[in-house]
């Protein structure tokens, strides 16, 4: 499609909003874009419709079909309502939970959605104020609802908002439900199809009782209460980065038994503008700067940070020189899995019927820990909805221990079906207390894991390509890798290729080919080399970027070898980057 044709289509699409039953504020914003000499904003706002990706509906706020606004949110909610009415026609009262984060317009979008659900005869449990994403998942199961949504864009920049939809098990929707909801949403071609006039009798405001039930459930996951009791004054610096963890996570830590939670006052200010950070993302070192400074001031034992919707956890620890270092998502998952499996074994809870879950781009050391200890390890696609899908399939058959992904998400329990920074913070504090009880720091515990299972280093690289042209460039990059796969990476021969789009597995050393056993396809490529390096390439499902995941392996014979192993791994990572051209 040439630029003139695209522009004409976009103008025609925008005109339907000007002619339709949209509010004056929206129409004024559209006219401003149409009158501008540069039509980039107009094209970006209307060239496509927002779609559900790995994280649901997510986009920049503003007017247009490709923007988050009351009409795109309204269409999503009306479509979901229509689908729920068709799927649960035999239920006397269909019900949903609605939550929201700290972002600008999140409360507005949640109230709009509550009105639309109730206008369709669906009972709504609406949280009174902002709440962590995992609590919405918990509440769906707690109330026995058929669905739920939360208005959040997780760790995205302040211009974004999003809409995550859940099914009756408290997990994010996967096929066929996500695809069917999209179909229902696409049927709504006129704003007048959306029922905006709510029924207050069907909207129930919820809050404290659910908070307490959630915390009581979290307290049941503790495996080392004695270690907590002996180290209850552990110095824990925690920051919510202006988000929804601000009240519930410190409260959960206190009720778990910890007495010395140190806040970062500037970041306890709830704000969708995230005034103290460029990006409210615990993956970004700068997001933890203020917390680390507070830890230095107070001589803390651990730093913990949750992202704005409190489903992901970032931590920092002191190394052997007393310097504060950030722990990446893979290492955090390693600490969780190692601790959970070890304590389950020590408590006699491992019987051979237990399992853990990781995503395909997460470190392979997790699988090695699990298998060495008689625990099954499932690999799934990126996105916590796939971890939840494994849990659903194994419910009542196998015992779930924990599951996580490299992007700082972990779930150590079954009463939530999404990543959960609330329970993860309490458990990480417990791990810190348990390590201290055993004469170790978290840093030393991580080193000991590497000593037992082999050293690993992971590096995530994101190449950002915004807008329509960026999406096309990302598609071309994936096509090039698929058509012309590398024969060697950083001097090591590629021996295995996994293509999750075609579900083809190929061993280049033996010429063996087979079909990957996965529940769906996904646009992910993986390359495994002879020296143990793993490369994964995939477009992000929620952001305008293509992601490269690099994992290299090394050796350690003692804790003293850690720095040398790390330096060698860093050199290998850079060689891999050079080979890939990223």
| Contacts (Cβ under 8 Å, ≥6 apart) of 197 | 115, 119
Q: So what's the pLDDT on residue 544?
A: 83
Q: So what's the pLDDT on residue 279?
A: 93
For the record, the structure tokens of 327 come out as: 């722990």
The tens digit of pLDDT for each residue in 341-382 reads 999 999 999 999 999 999 999 999 999 999 999 999 999 998
Return the CATH fold of 456-580: TATA-Binding Protein (3.30.310)
Choice among 95, 154, 407, 492 that is catalytic: 154
Per DSSP bridges, beta strands 545-554 and 534-539 are antiparallel
The 3-state DSSP class for residue 283 equals coil
Q: Residue 49's pLDDT band (boundaries 50, 70, 90)? A: confident
Neighbours of 269 (CB within 10 A): 15
Q: So what's the pLDDT on residue 469?
A: 83
154 catalytically annotated: yes
Q: What's the predicted TM-score (pTM) here?
A: 0.94
Superfamily of domain 214-220+232-453: Alpha-D-Glucose-1,6-Bisphosphate, subunit A, domain 3 (3.40.120.10)
> Is pLDDT above 60 for 62?
yes
Fold match between domain 52-206 and domain 456-580 = no
User: Which residues sit opposite 165 in a β-bridge?
Assistant: 149
The tens digit of pLDDT for each residue in 520-567 reads 999 999 999 999 999 999 998 767 899 999 999 999 999 999 999 999
Q: Are the C-beta atoms of 125 and 95 separated by less than 8 Å?
A: yes
> Is pLDDT above 80 for 338?
yes
Chain-wide mean pLDDT for the chain?
95
User: What is the full DSSP assignment across 212-263?
Assistant: HHHHHHHHTT-S-HHHHHHTTT--EEEE-TTSTHHHHHHHHHHHHT---EEE
Q: Residue 63's pLDDT band (boundaries 50, 70, 90)? A: very high
Q: Where are the domains of the chain?
A: 1-47, 52-206, 214-220+232-453, 456-580
Nearest residue to 282 via CA among 253, 316, 254:
316
**Top-tier CATH class for 52-206:** alpha beta
Q: How deeply is 337 buried, as exposed, middle or buried, from its count of CB atoms within 10 A (0-12, 13-18, 19+)?
A: buried
Q: So what's the pLDDT on residue 467?
A: 81
């Amino acid at each position: 499609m040439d630029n003139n044709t695209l522009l004409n289509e976009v103008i025609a699409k925008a005109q339907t909003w000007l002619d339709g039953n949209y509010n004056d504020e929206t129409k004024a914003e559209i006219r401003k874009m149409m009158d501008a000499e540069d039509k980039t904003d107009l094209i970006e706002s209307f060239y496509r419709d927002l779609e559900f990706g790995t994280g649901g509906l997510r986009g920049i706020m503003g007017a247009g079909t490709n923007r988050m606004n009351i009409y795109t949110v309204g269409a999503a909610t009306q479509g979901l309502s229509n689908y729920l009415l068709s799927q649960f026609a035999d239920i006397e009262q269909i019900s949903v939970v609605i939550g929201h984060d700290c972002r600008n317009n999140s409360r507005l979008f949640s109230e709009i959605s509550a009105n639309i659900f109730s206008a369709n005869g669906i009972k709504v449990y609406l949280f009174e104020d902002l709440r962590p994403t995992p609590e919405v998942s918990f509440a769906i199961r707690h109330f026995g609802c058929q669905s739920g949504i939360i208005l959040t864009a997780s760790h995205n920049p302040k211009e974004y908002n999003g809409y995550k939809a859940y099914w009756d098990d408290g997990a994010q929707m996967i096929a066929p439900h996500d695809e069917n909801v999209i179909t229902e949403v696409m049927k709504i071609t006129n704003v007048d199809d959306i029922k905006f006039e709510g029924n207050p009798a069907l909207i129930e405001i919820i809050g404290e009782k659910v908070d307490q039930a959630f915390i009581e459930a979290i307290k049941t996951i503790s495996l080392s209460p004695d270690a907590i009791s002996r180290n209850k004054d552990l110095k824990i610096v925690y920051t919510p980065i202006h988000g929804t963890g601000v009240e519930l996570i410190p409260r959960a830590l206190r009720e778990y038994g910890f007495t010395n939670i140190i806040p970062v006052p500037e970041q306890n200010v709830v704000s969708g503008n995230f005034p103290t950070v460029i990006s409210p993302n615990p993956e970004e070192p700068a997001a933890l700067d203020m917390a680390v400074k507070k830890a230095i001031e107070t001589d803390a034992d651990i730093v913990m940070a949750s992202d704005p919707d409190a489903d992901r956890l970032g931590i920092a620890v002191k190394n052997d020189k007393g310097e504060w270092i950030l722990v990446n998502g893979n290492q955090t998952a390693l600490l969780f899995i190692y601790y959970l499996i070890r304590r389950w074994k020590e408590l006699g809870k491992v019987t051979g019927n237990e399992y853990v879950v990781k995503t395909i781009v997460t470190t392979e050391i997790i699988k090695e820990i699990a298998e060495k200890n008689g625990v099954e390890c499932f690999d799934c696609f990126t996105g916590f909805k796939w971890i939840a899908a494994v849990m659903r399939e194994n419910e009542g058959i196998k015992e779930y221990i924990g599951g996580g992904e490299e992007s700082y998400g972990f779930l150590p329990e079954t009463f939530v079906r999404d990543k959960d920074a609330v329970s993860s913070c309490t458990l990480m504090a417990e791990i810190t207390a348990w390590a201290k009880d055993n004469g170790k720091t978290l840093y030393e515990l991580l080193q000991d894991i590497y000593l037992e299972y082999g050293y690993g280093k992971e590096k995530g690289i994101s190449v950002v390509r915004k807008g329509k042209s960026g999406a096309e460039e990302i598609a071309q990059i994936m096509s090039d890798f698929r058509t012309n796969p590398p024969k060697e990476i950083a001097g090591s021969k590629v021996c295995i290729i996994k293509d999750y789009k075609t579900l083809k597995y190929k061993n280049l050393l033996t010429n063996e080919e087979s079909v990957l056993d996965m529940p769906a396809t996904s646009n992910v490529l993986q390359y495994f080399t002879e020296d143990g390096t793993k490369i994964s390439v995939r477009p992000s499902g929620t952001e305008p970027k293509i992601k490269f995941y690099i994992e290299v392996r090394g050796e350690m014979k003692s804790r003293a070898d850690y720095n040398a192993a790390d330096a060698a791994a860093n050199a290998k990572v850079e060689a891999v980057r050079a080979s890939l051209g990223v």
